[in-house]
Amino acid sequence: MATTMRPDAAPSPAHHHHPTYHEVTRDIAATLGHPKRGYFILFGFVLLVLAAGIVALLYQIRRGLGVAGYSPPVMWAVYVTTFVFWVGIAHSGTLISAILYLFRSAWRTSVYRTAEAMTVFAVMTAGLFPLIHLGRLWYAYWLFPYPNQRGLWVNFKSPLVWDVFAVSTYFTVSTLFLIVGLIPDVAAIRDRATGWRKKLYTITALGWRGADYQWRHYVKAYLYLAALATPLVLSVHSVVSWDFAMSIVPGWHATIFAPYFVAGAIYSGVAMVITLMVPLRKVFRLERYITVVHFENLSKLLLLTGMIVAYSYLVEYFIAWYGGNPIERATFWNRAFGDYWWASWTMILCNGALPWLLWFRKIRRSIPALFVLSLFVNLGMWFERYVIIVVSLSHEYEPYAMGNYTPTWVDWTILAGSFAWFFMWFLLFAKNFPTVSITEVKEIIPWPRRREVRA
């Protein structure tokens, strides 16, 4: 928390007609409490889809990966695509909560909690896919270097092992970060809640009182967590990108992959934040705290990362031509004009072209427009991974062994199931914990004082 922030710090988004501290507590606490019928219907639907996904998975485990659409040489497909997609989604959360925190940007305060929760749940979703796509997932624990009677260890040269470490670290750290941030809020709610919720929050508040000796360590710890999370978030998607870049597959083996993936990740993540925030704001009546200004800032972030992504696309094609390697060239020719041209152009349209609309202030400030746009970006980013993975694999070195891939119902059901899994957690969270940080929103509201500050 901004210890160095003075009450009269830079004009905050919520500057004009501040709510009082009390209003903040009241309004946000109001978002919790007993949900309405609509919530349960939605939740039931989510559980249904999740169940379908689980059934599909069990079927796949029973019979073998053959029930998915894999057709060699395409040995990775929807599952790895979806893995990268969800890891990407996660990133914006950490960006907003940690990086923007270090940059002291005030506007993050009312959106970071949602983003952070999204991060944790997205990583929880992503983490499933490396397992789902294994031929023998019951041996997945072999991927960890645990002492065993065979005396065998894992291959630390394999990017997949890097992944294991990166993703599990990322999950741990972002979860801690979320929990730490929650403590003062939970305490605030505790002091207002009644009944079983009171008990729940009393426990989860870990005895927080906001005493000076608590703030003193808390503030530092939070700062250092943010400091650790920042390089981590950059590293995680770099490592994920190395799953591909470390190989010799034409279309994968590129040095630009790390920055390209990180930008893409944040891009998709911001889009997902918008997708979540728009309905949330309506349902929870948070218009006062999540204002057009926040969306405009988010969309600027979207525009920036979108431009980086578009640039990366250009560079990929340029290097393929400029590098002069005929196989690389063939691969990219195939991407643009081969059997999968539709996927490639979907991706280029959604990620490369549409964000240009954000140059217009009108669109940046139109919440419906942003919502629609964010959906397109999500779609586009999923296809980006699909193109990178499937299309590259379908057109490698050995012409005789080239071939195409089409998913089956199992792929689709498990993909849908992953969304259900994500939203299940998110819905549970939204109704039981503040989706807007009480404490941090208060922080940007100046304290009432009796005398003027002496400069």
Partner 1 sequence: MTDGMNRRKFLKVLGVTGGGAAAMAGCSTERVEKLIPYLVPLEDQIPGLATYYASTCRECPAGCGVYLRVREGRAVKVEGNPDHPVNRGRVCARGQASLQGTYNPDRIRGPMERTLTGTFAPITWEAAITRVVERLKGAPAGSLWFLTGNEGGSFDRLVRDWLSALGSSHAVTFEPFAYEALWQANRAVFGIDAIPSYRLGDAECLVSFGADFLETWLSPVEHARGFAAAHGYHDGRMGRYVHVEPRLSMTAMSADEWIAPVPGTEGVLALAMAHVIVNHHLERAPADAVQLRGLLQPYEPDQVAGRTGVPAETVHRLAAEFAARPSLALPGGAGTQHRDAQLTAVAVNLLNYVAGNVGRTVVFEPAASGGNGSYVGVADLVAAARRNEIGVLFVHGANPAYATPPGLGVAEALAAVPFKVSFARCLDETAALADLVLPDHDPYEQWNDYTPRAGVRSLLQPVMQPVFDTRQTGDVLIDVARRMGGALGARFAGAAPEGGYKAYLQERWGELQRELADRRPFDEFWREAVQRGGVWRDLPASPVRVARDIALNPPTPTGGGRFTAIVYPSPTLYDGRGANRPWLQELPDPVTKVTWGTCVELHPDTASGLGLAEGDVVEVRSAAGAIEAPVYLYPGLRPDVVAVPLGQGHTAYGRYADGRGANALRLLGPEPAAFGGVVRYADVTVAATGAHVVLAKTEGKNRQLDRGIAQAVTVAGIAAGALEHKFHLPEAAPIPEREERILDEVARKQREATKYGPYAFETSRWGLAIDLAKCTGCSACVVACSAENNVPFVGEAQVARRREMQWIRIERYFEGGGPGEPLEARFVPMLCQQCGNAPCEPVCPVFATYHTPDGLNGQAYNRCVGTRYCSNNCPYKVRYFNWYDQSTPDDPRTFAWEEPLHWLLNPDVTVRSKGVMEKCTFCVQRIRGAQNEARVAGRDLADGDVVTACQQTCPADAIVFGNLTDAGSRVARLAADPRRYRVLESLNTQPAVTYLMKVRNLGGEA
Partner 2 sequence: MTRWVVPVTTGAAVVVVGALTVFAARGLRSQGPASPKVQPDTVVDLTYEAPVDVDTVGLPGPRQPIFYRHDVHAGQYRMDCRYCHYNVERSPSPGLPSLASCMGCHLIVGSGNPEVQKLRDAVAAKQPVQWVEVHRLSQFVHFSHERHVVAGELNCKECHGQVNRMPQVYQFASLKMGWCIACHKTKEYKDQPGRPVTTDCSACHY
Partner 3 sequence: MSGHPGGVLAAFRHVDDAAQAIRDLRAKGFADVTAYTPVPNQEIAAAIGRQSSPVRLWTLLGGLTGLGLGLVMTLWMSLDYPIVVGGKPIPSVIPYIVIMFELTILCGALATITGLIVHAVRSRRPAAFDPRFTDDHIGVFVPCAPEGRGAVQQLLQAAGAEEVRIEA
Which region, judged by CB under 8 A, interacts with partner 1, from 44-52, 105-113, 127-135, 199-207? 127-135
> Residue 376 and residue 268: Cα distance in Å, rounded?
10
How near is the Cβ of 442 to partner 1 at its closest, in Å? 47
Among 15, 26, 136, 300, binds partner 1 (CB under 8 A): 136
**Residue placing its CB nearer to partner 3 in the complex, 288 or 365:** 288
- Spatial CB neighbours of 364, under 8 Å, sequence gap ≥ 6: 295, 296, 299, 300, 303, 358, 370
For residues 272 and 95, the answer to whether their CB atoms sit within 8 Å is: no
- Angle value at C-alpha 381, between 231 and 168, nearest 5 degrees: 40
The answer to whether residue 147 forms part of the interface with partner 1 (CB under 8 A) is no
324 torsion bin: left (phi>0), alpha (psi -120 to 50), beta (else) = left
How near is the Cβ of 348 to partner 3 at its closest, in Å? 31
How near is the Cβ of 168 to partner 3 at its closest, in Å? 8
The answer to whether residue 82 forms part of the interface with partner 3 (CB under 8 A) is no
Question: Choosing among partner 3, partner 1, partner 2, none, which partner's interface includes residue 330 (Cβ < 5 to 8 Å by kind)?
Answer: partner 1
**Residue placing its CB nearer to partner 1 in the complex, 394 or 435:** 394
Instruction: Dihedral sign for Cα 375, 376, 377, 383, please.
Output: positive
Helix, strand or coil, per DSSP, at residue 149: coil
- Spatial CB neighbours of 87, under 8 Å, sequence gap ≥ 6: 122, 123, 126, 167, 236, 237, 240, 265
Residues recorded for the chain: 455
**Which residues on neighbouring strands pair with residue 74, listed in sequence order?**
71
Q: What would the x/- binding string for partner 2 be over residues 216 to 245, using CB under 8 A?
A: ------------------------------
Among 11, 33, 210, 279, binds partner 3 (CB under 8 A): 210
> Residue 375 and residue 381: Cα distance in Å, rounded?
10
How near is the Cβ of 92 to partner 3 at its closest, in Å? 19
Q: Which residues of 124-138 are buried (b: 16+ CB within 10 A; e: fewer)?
A: bbbbbbbebbbeebe
For residues 125 and 421, the answer to whether their CB atoms sit within 8 Å is: yes
Among 151, 195, 326, 448, binds partner 2 (CB under 8 A): 151
The answer to whether residue 72 forms part of the interface with partner 1 (CB under 8 A) is yes
For residues 81 and 386, the answer to whether their CB atoms sit within 8 Å is: yes
Question: Choosing among partner 3, partner 1, partner 2, none, which partner's interface includes residue 71 (Cβ < 5 to 8 Å by kind)?
Answer: partner 1
> Residue 203 and residue 191: Cα distance in Å, rounded?
12
Among 20, 71, 148, 172, binds partner 1 (CB under 8 A): 71
Among 63, 104, 199, 216, binds partner 3 (CB under 8 A): 216
Q: What would the x/- binding string for partner 1 be over residues 329 to 358, using CB under 8 A?
A: -x----------------------------
DSSP category for residue 366: -
**Residue placing its CB nearer to partner 3 in the complex, 28 or 348:** 28
How near is the Cβ of 169 to partner 2 at its closest, in Å? 15
How near is the Cβ of 81 to partner 1 at its closest, in Å? 13
- Listed as own residue / partner, the contacts of 72-76 with beta carbons closer than 8 Å and 24 or more positions apart are 72/401, 72/403, 73/393, 73/394, 73/396, 73/398, 73/401, 73/402, 73/403, 74/390, 74/393, 74/394, 74/403, 74/404, 74/405, 75/393, 76/133, 76/389, 76/390, 76/393
- Listed in sequence order, the DSSP H helices in 97-194 are 100-102, 112-126, 128-132, 159-190
The answer to whether residue 139 forms part of the interface with partner 3 (CB under 8 A) is no
> Residue 199 and residue 195: Cα distance in Å, rounded?
7
**Residue placing its CB nearer to partner 2 in the complex, 34 or 150:** 150
Peptide bond into 73 cis (omega under 30): yes
Question: Choosing among partner 2, partner 1, partner 3, none, which partner's interface includes residue 192 (Cβ < 5 to 8 Å by kind)?
Answer: partner 3
How near is the Cβ of 396 to partner 3 at its closest, in Å? 18
Question: Choosing among partner 3, partner 2, partner 1, none, which partner's interface includes residue 70 (Cβ < 5 to 8 Å by kind)?
Answer: partner 1
Question: Choosing among partner 2, partner 1, partner 3, none, which partner's interface includes residue 72 (Cβ < 5 to 8 Å by kind)?
Answer: partner 1
> Residue 426 and residue 436: Cα distance in Å, rounded?
13
Q: Which of residues 228-247 bind partner 1 (CB under 8 A)?
A: 243, 246-247
Among 202, 204, 235, 325, binds partner 1 (CB under 8 A): 325
Residues within the interface to partner 1 (CB under 8 A): 63-66, 70-73, 75-76, 133-137, 139-140, 142-143, 152-155, 157-161, 164, 243, 246-249, 323-327, 330, 393, 396-403
Residues within the interface to partner 2 (CB under 8 A): 147-151
Residues within the interface to partner 3 (CB under 8 A): 1-7, 20-22, 25, 145, 151-157, 161-162, 165-166, 168-169, 172-173, 176, 180, 184, 187-188, 190-192, 208-221, 224-225, 227-229, 231-232, 235, 239, 242, 439-440, 442-443, 447-451, 453
